[in-house]
Amino acid sequence: MADAAENLESMESNDGAWKEALAGDNTEVLESLNQYESPDKFLEEFNSLKNHDWRDDFAGDDMKFKSTLERFKSPMEFSNSWREAQQKIRGGELQAQKGLPQPDEGATEEQIKAFREEQGIPLESKGYYENLPDGLVLGENDIPYFESFAEKLFEKNMPPEFAHMAIEWYNDFSEREQTALVEGDASHRQEMEDSLREEWGPDYRANRNLLTAYLTKSLGEDAHEAFINARGLDGRGIMNNKDVISWLTSMARQENPALQLIKGDGDPLETLNAKIAEIEKFMETNRTDYNKDEAMQAELRRLYDMRLAQK
């Protein structure tokens, strides 16, 4: 039996005969064949179409979509699947999934893995915050907060875009919170200092130095650092709270009542030593007057006691 191609070639010299041989009584087929000049042109296009992958027409350059189409054997099978999905969507069957694809119920681990690869879902939960788009960063200190979140996303087979959106929001929120905190601290500090300067007058610096020495001595270096950076329930820094500062300064002076006599700016112990040196110099250069001044003698004794208490 002669090959179809040979039959076409033999009829090529007979103008139109090859078209009639192929079309038979089908006028629509004959009309379609009229666009070809010769059997060669017809066979060339036929072979081209035979080797053409219909998935390229649907997916174009989208290789991920083309990979999805590999599951379908023909355009008709894909069309039927799409039509069925549309019917389910209109019928409300996919409402619970909110449009997000999920593995088939009862899928094996290998099938779930293949599904995740196909959907661009990380194969491990940490992939949600390790492989971030350009410009998106998650600090090392923030990773522990996202680990459980990423595990939940992985469990639900959520696209990585969900994690990226959450991280972007978190970074923006943290930046705004930090800015508000810095501005709030500056405002509270100024408010507290203005109020205490008005109340304490020239003793403001001496009282603050006394308070610093008291906290450092009472709490130790590490605890002191933690305390001065602590915050109240309202978010205000402890050391920016006027009532707290006043109470702590009062506690510092109660621990050593003699310090209440020290006035002026600078370090309390330096001020104390300066007063003692002043009286001692007067005693050396004006001994007679000093011996007659019982009040000055009593003052010097009190200053000695104060210095001893400080030590």
Residue 35: phi and psi, rounded to 5, are -80, -10
b/e per residue 126-160 (b: at least 16 CB within 10 A) = ebbbeebeeeeebeeeeeeebeebbeebbeeebbb
For residue 190, what pLDDT is reported?
93
Total of domains in the chain: 2
> Which tops the pLDDT comparison, 7 or 153?
153
Is 272 inside a domain boundary? yes
Residue 47 falls inside a structural domain: yes
- Report, as an integer, the average pLDDT of 285-303: 87
Asked if residue 252 is part of any domain, the answer here is: no
Alpha-carbon separation of residue 34 from 19, 43, 44, 112, 171 (angstroms): 7, 14, 15, 51, 66
Confidence of residue 18 (pLDDT cuts 50, 70, 90): low
Does residue 20 form part of some domain? Answer: yes
Q: Cα–Cα distance between 142 and 224 in angstroms, integer? A: 26
Which of the listed ranges 11-15, 28-32, 187-191 does the model predict with the highest average pLDDT? Answer: 187-191
- The domain of 35 spans 4-52
Residue 27 within a domain: yes
pLDDT digits (tens, 9 = 90+) for 142-177: 888 888 888 888 888 888 888 888 888 888 888 888
Q: What is the pLDDT of residue 191?
A: 93
Residue 293 domain-assigned?
yes
Say what the pLDDT of residue 144 is.
85
How remote is the C-alpha of 244 from its chain's centroid? Answer: 35
In the predicted structure, residue 1 carries a pLDDT above the cut 50 = no
Q: Whose structure tokens read 């006691």?
A: 305
| Cβ–Cβ under 8 Å, residues 143 and 181 | no
Measured from the Cβ of residue 92, the count of other Cβ atoms closer than 10 Å reads 8
The pLDDT value recorded for residue 47 is 62
Confidence of residue 304 (pLDDT cuts 50, 70, 90): confident
| pLDDT for 9 | 52
| pLDDT tops 50 at residue 94 | no
In a domain, 14, yes or no: yes
pLDDT of residue 193: 92
Answer yes or no: is 186 within a domain: no
Q: Is the model's pTM score more than 0.85?
A: no
H or E segment to which residue 194 belongs = helix 160-200
CA distance linking residue 294 with residue 272, whole number of Å = 20
Mean of pLDDT over the chain: 77
